[in-house]
Amino acid sequence: MKKKIILISGIIIIGLIFAFIKFNDKGIGMANSNDTISITHRYGVTEVKKNPKRVVVLDYGALDIIKSMGEDVIALPKSSLPTYLENFKDEKYVDLGSLKEFNMEKINELKPDLIIIEGRQGDYYDELSKIAPTIGLGTINNDHFKSLNDNIDILSKIYGKEDFSKKKVEEINSRISKIGEKVKKENRNALVAMVYDGNISVYGPSSRFGMIYDKFLYNPVDKNIKVEGHGQNVSNEYILDKNPEYLFVIDKGVVSSTNGEKAKNIMENELIKRTDAYKNGKIIYLDTKTWYLGGAGIIATENMLDEMEKTL
C-alpha cells in the first residue's frame, strides 16, 4: 500500500514539475517575445507592445487604418480632422492641437504605450521616443499606395489583424486596376492643380498627387512639371496652353486658416473656360481633406477611389 502511495505521489510530483516547466517556457520565460513585436518604420526599428491600449496618433492615415480595424486611440490632434474621422472629436479623446503644433506635455502626461507619427513630426521623433515607443508611418516618397500597403501591414501585425489586412489590400488593388484599365483604354489626359491664396500650382507624375497618373493611368499633359512639395506655380495661360481633357483641382483653402476665394471662382475664368476640360464638364473638384490631409489610410483611399470611379 505504501509503495502504491509513494508511486502515485511520485507521478504527481513529476507531473507538477513538467507543468511548471511548460508554464515557465510559454509564460514567464517568453513573455517579452509574445507581448512585443519589432517594427521597422521610416525612422528605424522599435519594439512595440502588441494590442496597445493607450495609443497617441499624430498621423491621420494611421488613425484611419486603426479605425478601419475596429481599434481605438486615446489622443490625437483634432484640428482639421477629415469628415470621415469626425467621431474622434468626441470628448473622450484628448485633443493634442494640430498636426504641426501638438501638445508635447499632454502626450507625456497620458503615459502612452505607443505613439504614431508621420513626416510632419519627424523632427520630434527622438523626443517622443523618450516618452514611449514611437513609430513613423505616413506617406513616404510621395508613394501613396506603397505607403498604404506598408502601413496596413505594420498596424495589422501590431493588432493581430493580418487577415483583415490581406482582404482590404486585395479589394483596393482590384478597384485601382479597374479604374486604370478604363482610363488607359480611353487614352485620357489630365492635369492636377491645387489652388491656394489665389495661386495655382500643378503636380505631375511621382508628386504627392501623382497617383492620378501613376496608378489611375491618366496621361500627363506636361511630363516636365517639377516634383516639389508645394507643386509648380503656373498661370491661367499655362493651363490653356496645355489644354487638359480632365482638370483635377484641390482647394487648399478648405483646410487653411485664410479665408481666400474659393477654387471654383479662381479656376473658372475666361481663359480656363476655353479648355476642353471646362467645355466638357471635366473640371473635377476633389475632396481636399481626403487628398491633402487624409494621408495613406484605408477610408481616405476608398474615398479617393469613389471620386475617381465617378469620372469613368
Q: pLDDT tens, 231-289?
A: 999 999 999 999 999 999 999 988 875 556 789 999 999 999 999 999 999 999 999 99
Encode 82-110: b = buried (16+ Cβ within 10 Å), e = exposed: bebbeebeeeebbbbeebeebbeeebeeb
**Residue with C-alpha cell 491600449?**
53
In Å, how far are 182, 215, 219 from 244, measured between CA atoms?
Answer: 18, 18, 10
Domain assignment of residue 237, yes or no:
yes
- Residue 252 — φ and ψ, nearest 5°? -65, -25
Residues of the chain with pLDDT > 70, as a percent, come to 88
Contact predicate 133/114, CB 8 Å:
yes
Looking at the structure, tell me whether residues 217 and 290 fall in a common domain: yes
Phi and psi angles of residue 293, each rounded to the nearest 5 degrees, phi first: -105, -30
Same structural domain for residues 303 and 195? yes
- pLDDT at residue 23, as a whole number: 39
Q: 80, 109, 138 — which closes off a domain?
A: 138
**In terms of domains, do 109 and 217 share one?**
no
Identify the pLDDT of residue 127: 97
> Would you state the pLDDT for residue 260?
60
Q: Is residue 190 located within the same domain as residue 302?
A: yes
| Per-residue model confidence (pLDDT) at position 243 | 98
Same domain, 101 and 216: no
pLDDT, mean of residues 10-22: 46
Domain span at 124 = 33-138
Kindly report, residue by residue over 164-215, the tens digit of the pLDDT: 999 999 999 999 999 999 999 999 999 999 999 889 999 999 999 999 999 9
Residues 130 and 190 placed together within one structural domain of the fold: no
- On whether both 122 and 213 belong to a single domain, the answer is no
Whether 52 and 133 map to the same domain: the answer is yes
Alpha-carbon distances of 126 from 111, 119, 120, 136, rounded to whole Å: 16, 13, 14, 11
Kind plus residue range of the DSSP H or E element containing 242: helix 236-242
Identify the CATH number of the domain in which residue 217 sits: 3.40.50.1980
pLDDT at site 256: 74
Three-state SS string over 122-152 comes to: HHHHHHHHCCCCEEECCCCCCCHHHHHHHHH
Q: What is the mean pLDDT of the chain?
A: 90
**40 and 130 housed in the same domain:** yes
Strand pairing partners for 201? 194, 233
Please tell me whether residues 124 and 204 are part of one structural domain: no
Q: Is residue 174 part of a domain?
A: no
Residue 155 has pLDDT above 80, yes or no: yes
Same domain, 132 and 199: no
What is residue 259's predicted lDDT score, i.e. its pLDDT? 59
In a domain, residue 92? The reply is yes
With CA atoms as reference, report the closest residue to 296 among 54, 118, 156.
118
Is pLDDT above 70 for 105?
Answer: yes
Residue 106 in this model has a pLDDT that exceeds 70: yes
Domain membership of residue 159 (yes or no) is no
Alpha-carbon gap, residue 92 to 90, rounded angstroms: 5
Q: How many whole angstroms separate alpha carbon 140 and alpha carbon 119? A: 8
Burial of residue 199 (number of CB atoms within 10 Å: 0-12, 13-18, 19+): middle
| Count of structural domains, the chain | 2
- Flag whether 7 is in a domain: no
pLDDT band per the 50, 70, 90 thresholds, residue 80:
confident
Residue finishing a domain among 84, 115, 138: 138
Which of 105, 123, 138 is a domain's end point? 138
